[in-house]
Amino acid sequence: MRPSGDFYDSELVRYHKDRKVEKAITAIVIAAGFLMLVAPMWILVFVSGALERLGVITALAAFFLALVSTVTVATPFETLAATAA
């Protein structure tokens, strides 16, 4: 159902089918998840030294923790458990 009245500007408002939006979001989530699984392994291949590798692992774990706590409604314990897993 499309709204009518003065507040509706057909040049600015676009309607899309829910199924197409869901498919796009699913593709983005799958791509991001795959990238977050594979990218750290490739980064570690090109980083030499134990301290540098530990820094990369720590940074990526902190990034994942921040991402999970920002994007989800999980409790801090659940967020930490997801990061540890």
Q: What is the per-residue pLDDT for 46?
A: 95
Count of C-beta atoms within a 10 Å radius of residue 74: 13
- Assign 15 to helix, strand or coil: coil
Q: What is the per-residue pLDDT for 4?
A: 57
Q: What is the per-residue pLDDT for 62?
A: 92
Name the band, by pLDDT with cuts 50, 70 and 90, for residue 80.
Answer: confident
Q: Which residues does 47 contact at the CB level (< 8 Å), separation at least 6? A: 53, 56
pLDDT in tens, 8-53: 677 777 777 888 889 999 999 899 889 988 999 999 999 999 999 9
Q: What is the mean pLDDT of residues 57-84?
A: 88
